[in-house]
Structure 1
Amino acid sequence: MKGLILSGGAGTRLRPITHTSAKQLVPVANKPILFYGIEDMAEAGITEIGIIVGSTAAEIEAAVGDGSRFGVHVSYLPQDEPLGLAHCVLIARDFLGDDDFVMYLGDNMLEQGLGGFIARWESQHTAALQPALGDAPDGPTGAPAAQILLTPVPDPQRFGVAELDDEGNVVALVEKPEDPPSDLALVGVYLFSKLIHQAVAAIAPSARGELEITDAIQWLIDSGAPVHHDLLDGWWLDTGKKDPLLESNRRVLESLEARVDGEVDADSKVDGRVVIEAGARLVNSEVRGPAIIGAGSVITSSYIGPFTAVAANCEVTDSEIDQSVIMEGARIRAVPRLTDSLMGRDSEVTRGARRSQATRVTLGDHSTVELA
C-alpha cells in the first residue's frame, strides 16, 4: 500500500501567512501540519509516499527531504494548477501503479491514526485480484473499491455528505447540499484500489472547473463497485483557517508529555503540561501549560499561558501571551496581552506609549506591528 498526500494548495484562507510559507508547513505545537500526516502513514506501515506539490514545492521538499527522517521514502509529484482532488490521482498514476493507496489532505489534522482504517480495508480484501468494473457485483458487497472516512457535523451543508442506505452502505455522495441526506461529512482521508484510476479518467470537470473526488467515487458506486465507510474516532479539523488551526494547536498541546530540557532560572515557574526544548531559556517568567517553548527561544519577565506554542529562536519580553501560535524568530516586547493570535516567522509586535487591554492579530512573515 502507498500513500498520497495533497500539498499543492495555495492556502488563500491563511493569508498573509501563506504569502511566504506553505500552509502545510504552518506549525501546530511546533511541528508542521504536513509532518503529522507523514507520521500517521509511517506508523500505519506505509513506506512509499507521494506528495503532490504546487507553487510551494521547493519549501516543502526542503522541509521533508527524502522522507528518511520519518522512516519512509518520499516522491514529489508536481501539479501545475489546482485542478481538483481527482486530478491529483490522475497525475499520480505512474507513482501509484496498481497498488492500493491512502489519500490524505495535507492540511487535515486527525486525532485518530490510520491503523484501524487500513486494517478494516485489508480485512475485506483477499490475495485474489479484484474484478474489472464490468464484472463488479450488482450491489455494494465484497471487497471495496474505495473506503471513505465520515464524521457527524452540525452543518453538513458546508461539506461533501454521504448518503447511506438502511444497511449502512454508501449509495451517494453530495457536495454541499442544500437539503443534506445525512449529517455525515467526508473527512479528507480516503482509501482506494486501482479501480479509482478508471473513475478519475471517466469523469468530467465540475462547474468550478475541477475534477472532484466525490464525482469519481460516485462513478464507482454507479458502476457497481462497492464503496465502504468508517466513522471517525475523535476530532478532525481542517487547518486552512486561523481559528481551526489554533484549535488544532490546543488539541495537540493537551496530549503533550511534560519535559524541561532548557534553562529555567530560580525566579521562573513552570506549571502543568509544559515542554521547554533544549536551548530555550526562562528568565523571571511563568509558563502555564499546556504549552511548548521552542529551542533557542528566550522568555524574559513574561507570562506564557495555556494553549500557546512558541517556536524556535523567538524572543518574548515583558509580555503576556495565551492561546496563540508564535512562529520561528518572532519577537514580542512589552505587550500586555496577546491572545488567540497567529504570528508569522520573524514578525514583531511591540507596544507604544498607550496600553491596550487585549490584542488579536494574524501577521505575515517579516511584518512589524507597533501597538498604540
Structure 2
Amino acid sequence: MKALVLAGGAGSRLRPITHTSAKQLVPVANKPVLFYGLEAIRDAGIREVGIVVGDTAAEIQRAVGDGSAFGLEVTYLRQDAPRGLSHAVLIAREYLGDDDFVMYLGDNFIVGGITGLIERFRRERPQALIMLTKVSDPREFGVAELDAAGRVVALEEKPARPKSDMALVGVYLFTPAVHDVVAGLKPSWRGELEITDAVQGMIDAGHRVESTVISGYWKDTGNVTDMLEVNRLVLESVEHSVEGDVDEASELIGRVVVEAGATVAGSRIVGPVVVGAGSVVRDSYVGPFTSVDRDCSVIDSEIEYSIVLRGASIDGVGRIERSLIGREAEVTPAPRVPKAHRLVLGDHSKVQISK
C-alpha cells in the first residue's frame, strides 16, 4: 500500500499567514500539521508516500526532504492548480500503479492515527473505505447519505440542502478500481474533479464502498479557530520538560516545556505551554494552551491560548489571547499620545481592537 498526501492548495482561510507559507506547515505545538499526518502514515506501516504539491512546492520539499527523517520514501507530484481531490488521484496514476492507497489531506489532524483504518481495509477488502464524522454545518463538507443499515448510498460535495450531518473526513482508502472512475469524471459546478463524485461513481458501478464513523478527534486546520483548537489538544499531551534556562524569579506551573536554548526570566508560565529553542520569555505571563516557536521573544507581556510562529516578538503588550502571530511579526504597544491605533496589515487580515 502507498499513501497519497495532498499538500497543495492556497490556504485562503489562513491568510495572511499563508501568503508566505504553506498552510500544511503552520505548526501546532511547534510542529507542522503535515508532519503529524506523515507520522500517522508511517505508524500504519506504509513507507512509500507521494506528496501532491502546488505553488508552495519548494517550501514543502525543504521541510520534508526525501522523507527519510520520517522513515518514509517520498516522491513529489506537481499539480498545476487546485483542481480537486480526484484530480490529485488522476495525476498520481502512474506513481500509484496497481497498489492500494490511502489518500490523506495534509492539513487534517486526526487523533489516534489511521492504523486501525488501514487494518480494517486490508482485512475486509472493500474497493473504498471512507471516514465520516458528524458536523454542525454539513454545507461546508462532502456529505454522505446513509441507508437504514448505515451503508453509504450517495455523496454530495458542499450541498446547499444536506441530506445528513455526516461529513467526509480527509482520509480515504482505495483499491486501483478507483482509477477507471476518476478517468471518466467531469468537473463539478465548482470547476473541480470531486472525490465525492469518484466515490459515488464507484457505488454506481457496483463496487463495495464502506464507511466508518470516526470515534476520535478530527479537525480540518483550515482556519485560525481550528488551528488554535488543535494546538490546545496537542498541548494537552505534553510532558513537563525543562532543558533551557529558567531563573529563580520565574514560576512554572503544570506541564511546561522549555526547550534547550530557550530562556525564561522573571516570568510566570502556566501550562500546558511550549517555549521553543532560542526563544526568550522575560517579565511576562504565558498562559495555558500557548505554543511559542523557535527564536521568539515575549517581553513584558501577557499571552494565552495562542500560537506564536518562528521569530516573532511581543514586547510591552498588556494582553493577547486566541491569536495566531506570524513569522517575524512584531507586536508592540501604540504611543500613548495621540491615542490611536497604527496598523500595517496585509491582504485578508483580520484585526479585533479593544476600545
What's the TM-score, normalizing by structure 2? Answer: 0.94
Question: How far, CA to CA, are the matches of 2:228 and 2:346 in structure 1?
Answer: 16
- The residue identity in structure 1 corresponding to 2:59 is E
1:4 and 1:51 in contact (8 A); partners too? yes
Counterpart for residue 97 of structure 2:
97
Q: Distance in 1 between matches of 2:107 and 2:142?
A: 17
Q: Paired residue for 1:351, among 333, 339, 349?
A: 333
Q: Which runs of 5+ in 2 are unaligned?
A: none
2:70 aligned partner: 70
| Residue number in structure 1 paired with 2:221 | 239
Is residue 169 of structure 2 the alignment partner of residue 187 of structure 1?
A: yes
Q: Aligned partners of 1:123 and 1:23: how far apart in 2?
A: 34
Contact (CA 8 Å) 2:47, 2:73: kept in 1 or not? yes
User: 1:364 and 1:305 mapped to 2: Cα distance?
Assistant: 28
SS in 1 for 2:120: helix
Q: Supply the distance in 1 between the matched residues of 2:23 and 2:345 (Cα, whole angstroms).
A: 14
Q: Which amino acid aligns with 1:18?
A: T
Q: CA deviation at 1:285?
A: 0.7
Mapped to 1, the partners of 2:346 and 2:245 lie a distance apart of 30
Alignment of 1:102-251 (within 5 A): 102-125=102-125, 144-251=126-233
* 2:2 corresponds to: 2
Q: What RMSD over aligned residues (CA atoms) do the two structures have, in Å?
A: 2.1
Q: Which amino acid aligns with 1:145?
A: Q
Distance across 2 between alignment mates of 1:32 and 1:207 = 33
Is the CA contact (8 Å cut-off) linking 1:341 and 1:362 kept in structure 2? no
Offset of 1:237 from its aligned partner?
A: 1.1
The Cα shift of 1:362 comes to: 12
| Mapped partners of 1:363, 1:146: distance in 2 | 45
Query: By how many angstroms is 1:160 displaced?
Result: 1.4
1:267 to 242, 249, 273: 249
What are the Cα deviations for residues 19-70 of structure 1, in whole angstroms up to 9, with x where unaligned?
Answer: 1111111111100111010000011111101100000000000000001110
Q: Is the 8 A contact 2:157 2:194 kept in 1?
A: no
Aligned residues: 347
Looking at structure 2, the residues matched to 363 and 39 of structure 1 have their Cα atoms a distance apart, in angstroms, of 35
**Cα drift, residue 177 of structure 1:** 2.8
Range with greater deviation from structure 2 (256-265 or 304-313): 256-265
Paired residue for 2:25? 25
Q: Counterpart in 2 of 1:135?
A: none
**What is the deviation of 1:321?**
0.5
Superposed CA deviations along residues 142-171 of structure 1, whole A, max 9, x for unmatched, are: xx1110000111222322111112222111
1:132 is matched with which residue? none
Q: Which residue among 291, 303, 314 is the counterpart of 1:321?
A: 303
1:334 Cα deviation from its structure 2 partner: 0.2
Q: Secondary structure at the match of 1:351?
A: coil
Q: Deviations over 1:284-328 (max 9, x none)?
A: 111111110000101010110001000000011100000110000
> Measured at CA, do residues 326 and 364 of structure 1 come closer, stay the same or move farther in structure 2, by a change above 3 Å?
farther
**Distance (whole Å) between structure 1 residues aligned to residue 159 and residue 171 of structure 2:** 20
SS at match of 2:332: strand
CA distance in 1, matches of 2:94, 2:265: 55
Q: Secondary structure at the match of 2:4?
A: strand
Deviation at 1:245, TM superposition (A): 0.8
SS in 2 for 1:230: strand
The answer (yes or no) to whether the contact 2:129–2:211 under 8 Å persists in 1 is: yes
Residue equivalent to 1:283: 265
Per-residue deviation, 1:8: 0.8
Identity %: 59
C-alpha separation in 2, matches of 1:174 and 1:82: 19
8 Å CA contact 1:17, 1:364 repeated in 2: no
Unaligned segments of structure 1, at least 5 residues: 126-143
After TM superposition, the score normalised by the length of structure 1 is 0.90
Deviations 1:169-201 (Å, cap 9, x if unpaired)?
111112223433222111111000001101110
Pair 1:363–1:242, CA change in 2 (3 A): farther
How far apart are the structure 1 equivalents of 2:345 and 2:70?
A: 31
Q: CA deviation at 1:354?
A: 3.5
Taking the aligned partners of 1:16 and 1:177, their CA distance within structure 2 comes to 28
